[in-house]
Amino acid sequence: MSKRSKDEVAEELIAYHFRIEPGMVEIYRLDDPDDAEAPIRLLEVNRETIGTDAEIIPFGFAPSERVPYSTVVAEITPGELELLLGKGFPRGWDPRTARRFSRSQSAA
């Protein structure tokens, strides 16, 4: 039985989030895919999420059978993304250095 790679699991998780969240605009993967110990970190831009005044509020999830890696997810609105691009992101959450996924990429 082969274990799915962190990269495979992250891409499945991203595709799943696009499927279940119709307001999801884009998702940024902020972790190091080559660091097996680091959690999968996703910054999700969702039109339908509740705004937090451009505050990044991460939620952590322990590994599970379906997602065998620790995961950290934060959601912001498109407007909050624009605000944060202007004023700056908390350390480690800047999407300009991340891998970006769009709905069209995940619609396979």
What domains can you pick out in the chain, each with its CATH number?
6-102 (3.30.460)
**Predicted structure pTM score:** 0.90
Phi, psi of 72 (to 5 degrees): -130, 125
Half-sphere exposure of 27 (CA within 13 A, CB side): 27
Q: Check if the beta carbon of residue 44 is closer than 8 Å to that of residue 17.
A: yes
**What is the per-residue pLDDT for 3?**
86
More confident residue, 33 or 48: 48
For residue range 42-88, list pLDDT tens digits in order: 999 999 999 888 889 999 999 999 999 999 999 999 999 999 999 99
